[in-house]
Structure formats: structure tokens, C-alpha cells
Amino acid sequence: MKKEKTEELFVKWIDGLLTPEEEAQLAAAMESDPGMKAELQELKKISESVVSEVPASVEPPYGDFFNSKLMRKIDLQIQSQRPAKKAERWWQSMRWAWAPVSALALVLSFFAGHRISRPADPLAQKKTFVEFTAELPTVYFTGEALDAEVIADFEGDVSAIVVNGLSAIRDDIDFVTVNTSASLPESYESSEARRFH
């Protein structure tokens, strides 16, 4: 029997996909090679171990912002494909530090030509402004609807996040004496234990 044929029979036997003719062929081959069956059984065992030990699905860490980051990139992609008029409205929805439109154009052209890359990243590529804004952080809120603004600096790093609408801290709270220990997450206690015990 050709080598390729034997290999194919082996593979199919392990996967339980032999036709009756192929089973007969393999049985004949086994008769002339007593060790073959043991070898096949071992290969099958390993195949079964791979199936049971290697997960087919692993959720990426922070699945919610995996999605939000991706959807943000898609949003930008859609925006960048829109006709110029609509794109201009999109720029206008951002509140710029510099009011004059000419200054805005200057800034846009600056970023378009400016290499914004991570010096240590070997795969760093020239990034356009549109790509850059895809990397800004997202802010998630638990309670009532709030809003946040992300402010980036000259080098494109996030320098501040302004969250508006948070409940004020009571004026009469004296942080020295307040000591709330109940109802904090277990990870807080673990974190403190790691540091101080």
C-alpha cells in the first residue's frame, strides 16, 4: 500500500471515518504489522486528550470592552467612508481646545502627517488621526446616566478624564475617622492581605 494511503487510513481510523472498504484495507495492513493496532490506539488516545484538554472557546478578557473597542473602530471606519460633508459634522461634534477653524485644519493636518507610534513597538505604523482616536479609553457607568470627556495631550496620551454628574461627597465626611469595612469586594480584602500580611 502507498505511504500516502496508509497515512490517510490512519487519520480516518482515528477519526472514525473509514468506509467499509477502507476498514478492510487497514485490517489487512494490521495483519502484516502486529504493532500497528497498538500504535493507532495510542494516537487515538492522544487525539482524544487534545479534544478534552484544549478548549475550543476562550472568552477574551474584558469581553464587554472587547466589543466596545471593536465597535468603535467599526464606527470610525463607517465615518471615514462617509462623504466629506458628514465627516465635517463629525469633527464638529468634538469640542476643540482651539476655536478657529483654521487652527483646527492645522491640527488635523499635523496629526495626519505626524508619526504617532509607540517607540518600543516593533510593529508600529504611521497612524492617522482617525486610527488614533480609536484607542481612547471608554468610560462605563454603573448608576444614573453620566457623561465623561476624555482629554488627550499633545503627544496623544490621555491626560485627563472628566466625569460629570457624580454624586457629591457629603461635606461632613471627615476622611480620618470614616472607616467603612463592610461590603467591599473580596478582591479588596485579598489585595490588602497581600500588601500588609
Partner 1 sequence: MEAIGSMSVQLIFATDGDPEIAGKLAKEMTVTDLKKLQGIKEIKFEHYRLLGVDKPVILKGYESWATPLRPSKEILVSFQPIKRSGDERIQMVLEYWQSKRKVFSTNPELKKGKTLYLLGPEWRKGRMILAVKIEELKKL
Partner 2 sequence: MNFFRWVTSKQLMAPVGASPDAGAGDQEVPDRQLIKACQSGDVRAFETLVTRHRGKVYAMVQNMIKNEADAWDLSQDIFLKVWKALPKFEARAKFSTWLYRITHNVVYDWLRKRKIDSVGELDDGILNQSDIAAGSRTSPSVTARPDQALVNSELGERINAALATLNAEHRETILLREVQGFDYKEIAKVMDCSLGTVMSRLYYARKKLQALLSDEKGKD
Site for partner 1 contains 7 (CB under 8 A) = no
Q: Which is nearer to partner 2, 66 or 188 (CB)?
A: 66
Q: Near partner 2 by CB under 8 A, which window of 19-27, 90-98, 166-174, 175-183?
A: 90-98
With CB under 5 to 8 Å by kind, the binding choice for 112 among partner 1, partner 2, none is none
With CB under 5 to 8 Å by kind, the binding choice for 16 among partner 1, partner 2, none is none
CB hemisphere CA count around 194 (13 angstroms): 6
Site for partner 2 contains 36 (CB under 8 A) = no
Rg (CA), the chain: 31
Among 2, 20, 97, 102, binds partner 2 (CB under 8 A): 97
Angle at alpha carbon of residue 55, lines to 52 and 56, rounded to 5°: 110
Residues 61-80 that bind partner 1 (CB under 8 A): 61-62, 65
In the 8-state DSSP scheme, what is residue 78?
H
With CB under 5 to 8 Å by kind, the binding choice for 81 among partner 1, partner 2, none is none
With CB under 5 to 8 Å by kind, the binding choice for 53 among partner 1, partner 2, none is partner 2
- From residue 172, give the alpha-carbon distance in Å to each of 23, 63, 85, 116, 178: 84, 40, 52, 47, 11
CB hemisphere CA count around 192 (13 angstroms): 6
Q: Contact, 158 vs 151, CB < 8 A?
A: yes
Among 29, 30, 87, 150, binds partner 2 (CB under 8 A): 150
Nearest Cα to 133, choosing from 148, 151, 120, 113?
Answer: 151
The least CB distance from residue 6 to partner 1, in Å, is 46
- From residue 180, give the alpha-carbon distance in Å to each of 177, 184, 185: 10, 9, 12
Q: Which residues contribute to the site for partner 2 (CB under 8 A)?
A: 4, 7-8, 10-11, 14-15, 39, 42-43, 46-47, 49-64, 66-71, 73-75, 77-78, 93-97, 107, 123, 133, 136, 138-142, 145-154, 159-160
